[in-house]
Homo-oligomer: A and B are copies of this chain.
Amino acid sequence: MTAPRSPRAGTPSNEAARPTPGPGSGRAPERGIPEATVARLPVYLRALIGLSERGTMTCSSEELAAAAGVNSAKLRKDLSYLGSYGTRGVGYDVEYLRYQIAREIGVTQDWPVVIVGIGNLGHALANYSGFSSRGFRIVALLDADPDRHGEDVGGLGIRAFDEIEDLVENQGVAIGVIATPAQAAQAVCDRLVAAGVTSILNFAPAVLSVPDGVDVRKVDLSIELQILAYHEQRKSLAEQSLAAELDGVVGA
């Protein structure tokens, strides 16, 4: 009772306004969705879009789970956080569930996005069709290098980083993508936050520190490879030690 734990030290008195259902208002059950579930909802959404394009009208939790690559029990529990959108004995209506998940995630509306740092990766991101097709619209490409201003990348011109304040103000940009070198990342981040950006996707190999209320997600290509390398090394070590063990048995 009385929730002693405070993961996000916000306004002390209003802190319960977000996570707890509130005593009086019994509106929607969509209050607190676990982070692990939130991370999987986009996967389910993509699987549903795939089923939809293939003309499937209805699917069971088993089918959808297989398409999303997860356990069916986990899928059902995840969906139960959104509400009861299935029919027992039947399954889920693909279009209906697709809409509900899209609405829950927030991709029924269009999110304007800026990309900062148009190097190799920035180029690729600017041309990536997966963004625009899923509720995100790249409204500007920004770079610190004046020589590149005006250059056309995927139909958009590269503009000066100084325009960020204007973009937040007039285009309603709330999400920024950082694809700069690591040294520049924190400065760019600070400037984005100061301009009013409250969600950041960081591709630079640097740890960003941001004030409360700003979300940062990090995508690090080399870290992913290193994790694979660890497991790969363990595989070969396991083989070796297995062989050594056999040798030992033979030799003894």
Given A238-B18, A242-B17, does the pair A225, B213 have CB atoms closer than 8 Å?
A: no
Residue of chain B at shortest CB distance from A126: B120
Instruction: Answer whether residue A69 sits at the interface, using C-beta atoms and an 8 A cutoff.
Output: yes
- How distant is A122 from chain B, measured CB to nearest CB, in Å? 8
Query: Residues of B contacting A113 with CB < 8 Å?
Result: 225
Q: Determine the distance from Cα of A43 to Cα of B245 in the docked complex, in whole angstroms.
A: 34
Query: Residues of B contacting A231 with CB < 8 Å?
Result: 38, 199, 215
Q: Are A38 and B104 within 8 A (Cβ)?
A: no
Q: Determine the distance from Cα of A208 to Cα of B167 in the docked complex, in whole angstroms.
A: 38
Q: Determine the distance from Cα of A127 to Cα of B120 in the docked complex, in whole angstroms.
A: 7
Instruction: Answer whether residue A99 sits at the interface, using C-beta atoms and an 8 A cutoff.
Output: no
A124 partner, pick from B7, B124, B130, B226, beta carbons under 8 A: B124
Query: Residues of B contacting A87 with CB < 8 Å?
Result: none
Given A229-B111, A230-B106, does the pair A221, B224 have CB atoms closer than 8 Å?
A: no
Chain A residues engaging chain B, CB cutoff 8 angstroms: 7, 14, 17-18, 25, 38-39, 41-43, 45-47, 67-69, 71, 104-107, 111, 113, 120-121, 123-125, 127-128, 130-131, 134-136, 174-175, 198-201, 205, 207-209, 213, 215, 217, 219-235, 238, 241-242, 245
A-B contact pairs, 24 of them (CB 8 A): A14-B242, A18-B234, A18-B238, A25-B241, A25-B245, A42-B220, A43-B207, A43-B223, A69-B209, A104-B230, A105-B230, A105-B233, A106-B226, A111-B229, A111-B232, A120-B123, A120-B127, A120-B128, A131-B225, A135-B226, A175-B225, A199-B229, A213-B235, A215-B231
